[in-house]
Amino acid sequence: MKINVKRDFLQIMVAGVGNNRLRKRFMSDFSYYFNNPELSDIMVQVVGCSDDYIECSSSDKERELQSSGGITGNNGTDTFYAHKFVLSARSPVLMRMLSSSMMEAASSVISMQFSKDTVQCILRYLYSGQIDLVPALVLDVLSCADYYSLEELREYCGWYSMRICMEGDPEMDICKVLYAAERYRLDKIKTLCFEFITQHSMDILLSSPNWHLLTEDSVIAILKQDSLRVPEVEIFDSLVRWAKKQYSILKDISCEEIVEIDFLKKKLQKPLECIRFASMSSHQLSKHIEASGLVDRDIMYEAYRYLATKETPKQLDMAVVRQGVTDFTFSTPGDTKGVFYYFGTVEDTDDYESPSIRKTVKVSSSSMSIGYPTPFVSRTPTNMYTDKLPNSYYSVDIGSKYVLCPNYYTMRYAGDSQGSIYAAPKNWQLLGSLDGEQWDILTTHHNDTSLKEGYSISGWPIDSIHSYRHLKIQMTGPNQRDGDELCVCCFEVYGRLVKLEEDSNLITEENDSSE
Question: What architecture is the 326-499 domain classified under in CATH?
Answer: Sandwich (2.60)
Spell out the residues 6+ positions from residue 470 whose beta carbon is closer than 8 angstroms to its own: 395, 396, 397, 398, 432, 433, 434, 435, 436, 439
Please state, as a whole number, how many other Cβ atoms lie within 10 Å of the Cβ of residue 67: 8
Angle at alpha carbon of residue 350, lines to 344 and 351, rounded to 5°: 70
Mean pLDDT within 134-152: 90
Residue 364 reports pLDDT greater than 70? yes
Residue 62 reports pLDDT greater than 80? no
Residue 324 phi, psi dihedral angles, 5° rounding: 85, 5
Domain borders along the chain are 2-195, 220-319, 326-499
Categorize the per-residue pLDDT at 72 as very low, low, confident or very high, splitting at 50, 70 and 90: low
User: Considering just the CA atoms, what is the radius of gyration of the chain in Å?
Assistant: 31
- pTM, whole model, 2 decimals? 0.78
Name residue 500's amino acid: L
Please state, as a whole number, how many other Cβ atoms lie within 10 Å of the Cβ of residue 313: 20
From the list 189, 123, 121, 178, the residue with the least C-alpha distance to 155 is: 189
Contact yes or no for 434/472 (Cβ under 8 A): no
With b meaning 16 or more CB within 10 Å and e meaning fewer, what string describes 140-175? bbbbbbbbbebeebbbbbbbbbbbbbbeeeeebbbb
pLDDT at 15: 54
| Rounded Cα distance, 513 and 7, in Å | 26
Is the fold of 2-195 the same as that of 326-499? Answer: no
| Rounded Cα distance, 470 and 467, in Å | 9
CA distances to 232, 236, 264, 267 from 261, in Å: 22, 16, 5, 10
Residue 297 reports pLDDT greater than 90? yes
Contact yes or no for 63/39 (Cβ under 8 A): no
CATH T-level fold of 2-195: Potassium Channel Kv1.1; Chain A (3.30.710)
Mean pLDDT within 475-497: 95
Categorize the per-residue pLDDT at 452 as very low, low, confident or very high, splitting at 50, 70 and 90: confident
384-430 pLDDT, tens digit per residue, is 999 999 999 999 999 999 999 999 999 999 987 555 557 899 999 99
pLDDT at 16: 53
Which SS3 state, helix, strand or coil, does residue 463 take? coil
pLDDT at 31: 65
CA distances to 138, 152, 158, 218, 390 from 26, in Å: 22, 11, 20, 36, 73
pLDDT at 251: 87
Name residue 347's amino acid: E
Please state, as a whole number, how many other Cβ atoms lie within 10 Å of the Cβ of residue 112: 21
Least confident segment among 312-326, 365-379, 412-426? 412-426
